[in-house]
């Protein structure tokens, strides 16, 4: 390769590497990502949908992704969000499916009802300190009985 060709290739590669600097932070693409999910501040409070079991005496029991019908945390999260977004029929269908799985789970024999809920959580406090806490503005999207 001649000296001129090497210079052209080198300048082109440097320009491609520097190109994200002049691009909008939201414009993600080839050849290098600007990682827009990290380029802008995100809110500390996030809305999250979740399912909980409720015992006869009113205590709340956390459910695992397996009780929602999957072994994956992110799939469970997506499944819940899709059902909540789809409306009352989808919410009730998911709730009844969870209740049916709980009915056959001896480890959750004390759970008599399933609630699909939504609420605002402080993501920064949770991630930085493992603080769980109760959500604010919690709403019930669906409830169903666990029939044994």
Whether the pLDDT of residue 5 is over 70: the answer is yes
CA distance 116 to 26: 34
| Per-residue pLDDT reduced to its tens digit, 110-122 | 999 999 999 888 8
Q: Is the peptide bond before 31 cis (omega within 30 degrees of 0)?
A: yes
Question: Which two tokens mark 34?
Answer: 């600007």
Mark residue 130 as left, alpha or beta (left: phi above 0; alpha: psi -120 to 50; beta: remaining). left
Go through 83-106 and write b for each residue having 16 or more CB atoms within 10 A of its CB, e for each that does not: bbeeeeebbbebbbbbbebbeeee
| Per-residue pLDDT reduced to its tens digit, 91-135 | 999 999 999 999 999 999 999 999 999 988 887 777 776 655 566
- pTM, to two decimals: 0.71
Domain boundaries along the sequence of the chain: 3-39, 45-145
């Amino acid at each position: 390769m001649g000296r001129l060709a090497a210079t052209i290739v080198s300048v082109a590669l440097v320009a491609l590497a520097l190109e994200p600097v002049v691009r909008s932070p939201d414009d993600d693409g080839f050849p290098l990502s600007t990682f827009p999910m990290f380029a802008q501040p995100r809110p500390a409070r996030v809305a999250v949908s979740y399912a909980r079991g409720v015992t006869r005496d009113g205590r709340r029991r956390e459910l695992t992704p397996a009780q929602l019908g999957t072994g994956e945390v992110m799939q469970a999260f997506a499944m819940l969000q899709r059902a909540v977004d789809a409306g009352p029929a989808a919410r009730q269908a998911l709730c009844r499916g969870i209740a049916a799985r709980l009915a056959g789970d001896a480890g959750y024999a004390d759970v008599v009802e399933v609630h699909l809920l939504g609420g605002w959580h402080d993501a920064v406090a949770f991630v930085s300190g493992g603080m769980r806490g109760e959500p604010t503005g919690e709403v019930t999207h669906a409830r169903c009985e666990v029939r044994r």
